Structure 1
């Protein structure tokens, strides 16, 4: 049973990292290089809620699977302290993106296009500058999440391989 749990944890972490890489380095650049910013942004706004929520939901799934491993072996927590902390951080950061950063960015985006429609270009520019700052924060957190996902996968894989030796 422990090997199945290990494989599930690795699979989920691999899926998280794969989604992040695919969305960040393939989907977003293709959309923004082939569509105007508004339409590409609208498509990304359809994807982001699923992407961010899957990050924290799958993170909780990994945490739950890991908790199952501790039922038989309480000492495992000592070996995986950094793993548990990094996983907790990943969950929190994905929740922050989903529940805080994304709604703020969406609101600013709506304000920006409303102001443009009303021909209030100066006010629109101010809102766009705010959006750029929020986007920079979002992109930074997303990059941190990618680093965490790769770290978690690699760390867990090495620890379970060492256990098998």
Structure 2
């Protein structure tokens, strides 16, 4: 599966799933999205950081659930019937990402991107593809492959993540 990275973003139209964390709007490559589902009870993992809510059994796959609202200190971390989990397929692993809401699928070309800022957003700019204006709303495009496999989240073994990048 060819997944976006800053160097592979082409001028062909690429589709992104938009979502919100707090007041900010983000987008990730639609090809990384396995499904969108409601939040369900998780099995807690001892000594896990607070942003790792636990794991779920998703049709035989043990899926870690990461709450990006907690990790990046944006939005209110509530868990109810409106809480959304985006299930991702990243580097042959399945990971769930809790967000405040899912908005739409948008098509973008490289020429529509602006460079990411070095400040003022929840994500480290190395995890960003850029910014785009869609329907008069600024959207932050996230390099979800890099973010989810980063040492910062600790979901992948460092040697495994490095090997899959080469």
Which structure features the higher share of strand residues?
A: 2
Asked if TM exceeds 0.5, the reply is: no
The alignment's TM-score, normalised by the length of structure 1, stands at 0.32
